[in-house]
Amino acid sequence: MPRGSVTPKRLLALAVLACVISALLPSRFTRPLTGLADPVQLLFAPISFPASEVSRTLRPSRQPDLGLDPQDLDRLIDERNTYQQRWLQSQGQIAELRAQLRDLQEGRALAPAVEFTDLSAPVIGATPALQDGILTIRAGSADGVVVRDTIAVARGVHLVGRVVRVGRRTSSAQTITAMHRGRTQEWIDGLVFVGPEGPAFACQLQAIGDDRLEGDLASDATGVEVGQVVRLNDPQWPEWAQMLIVGRIESIRPKEGAPGRELITVRPELELERLRHIVLRMPDETSVSGGSP
C-alpha cells in the first residue's frame, strides 16, 4: 500500500482530531456547523425513543421502599397537598392583612390631629351606580357605625362614599358616583391640586353616572390639567373625610353660556362597586361618650 494512501485508521484519527479541535474552538467559529445538527437528529431520533424504553425496561429506576401500604401512601400525599393549600391560603390572608394595615396607617397620616375610629369591614353586596350605588357592608350599629358621620374609605386615602343606612350587623354606604333613582347625587366641594407643591383651586362636583362626577372649576383656576388629583374639602362631610381623594380629572372643557368658566369631569381611581374590603371611618367612641372615666 502506498505510503500516502488514506486508510480507515487515518480517517478515524483525523475525525477524532477534528472533533477535539471543534470542541476547543470558540462558538463563533463553529456556528456554521450547527446546520448539520438537524440531519443528524432526523436520522437518529426515530431509534432514540425505542432505545430509551429498552434501557428503562432492563434497568428500571429505583423507588425508595418506605414500607407503606399504597393506600397509606396516597393518604399521606393527599394530606401533604391539603396542608400545602392551607399554607398558600394563609400567605394570601397575611398579605391582605398587611395591605389593610397599610391603608389604616396612610389614612391616619392625612388627619393626625383628628380623633376617629377605623373599622376594616368586608363588602358583601353591591348595586350598580346607575341605580343606587349601594355597598352592603358587614358592620352595623353593634360595631359603632352611625348614619352619615361614618364614611367609607379604600386604600387609606380614597373616598368611597357615606353610610346612609345602619342595621344591627350590616350597613349600607352610597358611593360618591351614585345617582338617586333618576336624580343626581348631592354636590361635593373639592380642591384640585396643581402639582405636588402647587396651589389648589376649588371645584364643585356632582355625580353624572358612568362612575364619574362633573362640575364647575373656580374662575381663578390656572394650570389645571387632565390627570391632576381632586380631594374632598366639604364642610358638609365629617372632618375625618377631608382631603381624601375623590378622583383624577378626566377631561376639561369650557362651560356653555359662561365665558371664562370651565367644567371638569372626575373619575375615581378605583372601581368603587368592585371593592371587596373597605374601611369605615366613624366618630371616636371616647369623643362621642364624653371621654373615658
* CATH architecture of the domain with range 95-287: Beta Barrel (2.40)
The residue ranges of every structural domain in the chain are 95-287
Write out residues in the chain with pLDDT < 70, as ranges. 1-6, 16, 19-68, 92-93, 95-113, 128-131, 179-185, 285-293
Residue appearing with cell numbers 363588602: 123
User: Is the sign of the CA dihedral 55, 60, 62, 63 positive or negative?
Assistant: positive
Can you read off the three cell numbers belonging to residue 75? 393518604
CA–CA distances in Å: residue 186 to residues 11, 28, 215: 95, 73, 12
pLDDT at 52: 62
SS3 category, 79: helix
Q: What is the C-alpha separation between 33 and 23, in angstroms, rounded? A: 12
CA–CA distances in Å: residue 233 to residues 66, 78, 208, 213: 70, 57, 20, 15
* Cβ-contact 207, 130 below 8 angstroms: no
- 77 Cβ partners below 8 Å, 6+ apart? none
Residue 280 is classified by DSSP as: E
* Cβ-contact 219, 263 below 8 angstroms: no
pLDDT at 59: 61
pLDDT at 121: 93
- 148 Cβ partners below 8 Å, 6+ apart? 162, 163, 164
pLDDT at 218: 92
Q: What is the C-alpha separation between 152 and 172, in angstroms, rounded? A: 10
- 113 Cβ partners below 8 Å, 6+ apart? none
pLDDT at 130: 47
